[in-house]
Chain A
Amino acid sequence: MRLSTGDPRLRAAAYQAAALAAVILLGWYLVSNTLANLEARRIASGFAFLGREAGFEIGETSLIAYGAADTYLRALAVGLANTFRVALIGIVAATALGALIGLARLSRNWLVAKLAAAYVEFVRNVPLLVQLFFWYAVITENLPGPREAVEPLPGVFLANRGIFFPVPAWSAVHGWMLAATALGAGAALAHARWARRRQARTGRRPPVLAGAAALLVLPPALAWLAGGAPTRFSVPALAGFNFAGGAHLSPEFAALTAGLIVYTASFIAEIVRAGVLAIDRGQFEAAYALGLRRGLAMRLVVLPQALRAIVPPVTSQYLNLIKNSSLAVAIGYPDLVSIANTTINQTGQAIEGIAIIMAVYLTISLVISALMNWYNARIALKER
């Protein structure tokens, strides 16, 4: 076989070798520059600083105990926990609000549809950062101080120091209730499985939803009763210049979650709407012909099919929400990026700090994409 310059395989190999060489050269150039610069600035590279004392306080440490004497590693872990806290609440609430608004936009009620459309159009076209600053300003500048706090519901207070609301006073019974809920959830899953097998065998479908609801609600309720039914609530009360007791959401946390929920919901609403619109009209008509009402036709026929088109883009909205939660740094909520930023400023370990941020977010992205691919493969149309 003769090789000539016109041979596509040879050309491909040459292109690739050139590209690889260029990237390696560039990488070597950057690394050697960086090493020289670090030496000139006397910055020791490496992750040894993670074990040193951080020396700064963190405003919100609800999940991991932390003090200024703890290490940078622990501080970063607190930041990561705070990121997850915002992301989890944001994802759940944004999904609910987004689905509601997406369906409202499809409503045959003209007023409701127009209101939903106005919401989507306005919120989608304003940068998230502007919205975060707006919510933060609403809370810190326009709400009164704790002494004149607004009380929209008994025991719930809105003030420029954040949102205060009552929670059940913690007792050992609550631990048992959590354990009972976990058990119930496991039983509900097993029950759903059994129901599916039974439906396949007999053609009859046992009541799955009712069974799951009972399995989820009854065990914790029984645990609560068995533990003596504690009803004590910790209620926020004014003490000095601030509230004591109850639960507290800081203005930063409240502004960040509100902003993320409102912003992401507008995108999810559009995805839900597009997913439902993508379903062939014939599906609705067939469902009506079978005697299903609009609500039932939506729930039993259209939505299950629409989910196939909805889930992948919604997952990427979840990823966006997690990445967008890094804007916390702009309003001072101590998320991972914000704490890594403080760490960089204190230690000068810029490369390591940014590498940590990137590695964490990349891992989250890859894990969620992998889960999504698995789910997609599961629900994909099985064509026979």
Chain B
Amino acid sequence: MSAPVHPVVNAAGSAPAGGAAPLRWLRANLFASWPNALLTLAALWLLWRALPPFVDWAFLDAIWTAPDSKACRAAAGEGACWAFVAEKHRFILFGTYPYEEHWRPAVACVILVGLWAASGLRRLWNWRLVPLWAAGLAAVGVLMWGGVPGLPYVENERWGGLILTLLLTTFGLAIAFPLAILLALGRRSGMPVIQGLCVGFIELVRGVPLISLLFMASVMLPLFLPERVTIDKLLRAQIAMILFAAAYLAEVVRGGLQAIPRGQYEAADALGLSFWEKTLLVVLPQALRISIPPLVNTFIGFFKDTSLVLIIGLFDLLSTVKVSLTEPAWTGFGVEAYLFAALVYFVFCFAMSRYSQSLERELARADAGRRR
């Protein structure tokens, strides 16, 4: 920007210096000025120092399959040991679920991912989603628990791995979402007692770390209930996750509610709609539509946060990875193991975040079209 601009020369859109299109692109984007060129060179140098050794380690010198960890130990420091993942992938994905029955959690994973993907299609945003979800979740329940002819019963202490992460996320969000809408409505209701209760709950949950809620669920919840009532660990963690998600989602929904112009409320009142008619037919459809992109971002955060159940001893994806590392033959391959876990989480989160971005653009376009 230091050179004086000559608008007459640049008006035609020609490059300051001639040359082929790629050269022009390089000049404009990488070598526009001296500091810029230096920055490019510094970045290139950094890449040159980092990338080739990484490619060597992760791909060229890596050990992809090996019957045991001896080959990996020999290559320690030179090449990655993906044989660890190859050897342990069944345990990492499905935990201690009976080995011959692994197809069941696998199908359940596909169903859950399919449900989420279907819910992302705007064509399907109508009442048909409700029976679809009900059928899908019922199928997942039957598959995972079994107990019907042909499917032996598997107690949920043996569920683990990717399916547990997906289940915690799905059920957590499915139950937290309606709760969040109620909390958001309560916070904006104008009734002091209800407002106070909702604000108190939301701020309390958002003010403390998720771990403290999980500790509370695992240690304190049994104390809260009568002695004869026992809830298993999975359900307790799920309850904590639901309360946590509900508080965060409620704030997102509240943002959507606040963005609705007053005129919408007044028009609904003028039509003589009752509170629930006004809310369900006029306010919520608009508020939720506005808040979909931030909601998806909250979903992503929640998906990542399910990994914290490891701390209270549940076998989610990260937990199975960590446990695989404790086997004496395979200790010391933590970097490979956690890179693999990172990759799995990344695939899910990145897909969701890309979806959220495209949806945001699409909705903005639709709004612009309508306003015209």
Contact = CB atoms under 8 A, between A and B. Distances in A.
B334 A330 contact: no
B1 interface: yes
Interface stretch (B7-15, B110-118, B170-178, B211-219): B211-219
A326 B211 CA distance: 7
Interface in A127-148: 127-131, 133-134, 136-138, 140-142
Interface in A219-276: none
Contacts of B39: 107, 109, 112
Given A122-B346, A350-B223, A366-B207, A130 B212 contact: no
Nearest to B333: A141
A125 interface: yes
A329 B212 contact: no
A288 to B, nearest CB: 8
Contacts of B322: 133
Contact-residue bracket for chain A: 35 or more
B225 interface: yes
Nearest to A38: B223
A121 B354 CA distance: 10
Majority DSSP secondary structure for residues of B touching A: helix
Nearest to A351: B220
Interface stretch (B128-136, B142-150, B336-344): B336-344
B179 to A, nearest CB: 14
A124 B301 CA distance: 9
B368 interface: no
Nearest to B338: A134
A33 B339 contact: no
B338 to A, nearest CB: 4
Given A40-B227, A133-B338, A362 B318 contact: no
Given A37-B227, A134-B335, A126 B211 contact: no
Given A111-B40, A350-B220, A362-B204, A126 B1 contact: no
A107 B210 CA distance: 36
Contacts of A36: 226-227
B38 to A, nearest CB: 10
B43 A293 contact: no
| Residue with the highest number of chain A CB atoms closer than 10 Å, among B193, B226, B345 | B193
B30 A111 contact: yes
Contacts of A12: 191
Given A15-B191, A141-B334, A351-B223, A327 B211 contact: yes
A228 to B, nearest CB: 41
A131 B334 CA distance: 11
Contacts of B192: 16
A323 B300 CA distance: 18
Contact of A138 (B43, B191, B206, B335): B335
A361 B212 CA distance: 10
A126 B346 contact: yes
Contacts of B215: 341, 344, 350, 354, 357
| Residue with the highest number of chain A CB atoms closer than 10 Å, among B40, B209, B345 | B209
Contacts of A365: 206-208
Given A20-B193, A125-B300, A362 B346 contact: no
A15 B190 CA distance: 12
A326 B346 contact: no
B358 interface: no
Contact of A134 (B197, B208, B332, B342): B342
Contacts of B43: 109, 111-112, 115
A126 B342 contact: yes
B335 A137 contact: yes
| Residue with the highest number of chain B CB atoms closer than 10 Å, among A36, A130, A141, A358 | A130
Interface in A50-79: none
A324 interface: yes
B127 to A, nearest CB: 28
B224 A108 contact: no
Contacts of B341: 130, 133
Interface string B188-207: 00011110010000001011
Nearest to A26: B224
A354 B224 contact: no
Contact-residue bracket for chain B: 35 or more
B212 A337 contact: yes
Given A326-B211, A341-B215, A354-B216, A33 B308 contact: no
Nearest to B350: A125
Interface string A6-50: 000000100111011001000000100110111010000000000
Nearest to A348: B219
| Residue with the highest number of chain B CB atoms closer than 10 Å, among A36, A110, A140 | A110
B227 A354 contact: no
A20 to B, nearest CB: 5
Contacts of B304: 125-128
A362 B335 contact: no
Interface string A91-122: 00000000000000001111110010000011
B185 to A, nearest CB: 12
A37 B29 CA distance: 69
Contacts of A324: 209
A294 interface: yes
Nearest to A326: B209
B335 A108 contact: no
A370 B361 CA distance: 35
B156 to A, nearest CB: 22
Given A111-B30, A127-B345, A341-B215, A294 B1 contact: yes
B326 interface: no
Contact of A329 (B204, B225, B311, B333): B311
B32 interface: yes
Nearest to A135: B338
B349 interface: yes
Contacts of A108: 29, 32, 36
A204 to B, nearest CB: 28
Given A12-B191, A16-B194, A327 B212 contact: no
14 contacts: A16-B191, A16-B192, A20-B193, A36-B226, A108-B32, A111-B40, A126-B349, A130-B307, A134-B338, A134-B342, A323-B208, A337-B209, A344-B215, A351-B220
Given A108-B29, A293-B1, 16 more contacts: A15-B191, A15-B194, A16-B193, A109-B36, A109-B39, A109-B40, A111-B40, A121-B353, A127-B318, A130-B338, A134-B342, A337-B209, A350-B215, A350-B219, A357-B209, A357-B215
- When A and B form their complex, which 7 residue pairs have the shortest distance between CB atoms, in order from nearest? A137-B334, A125-B349, A110-B29, A16-B193, A365-B207, A127-B304, A326-B209
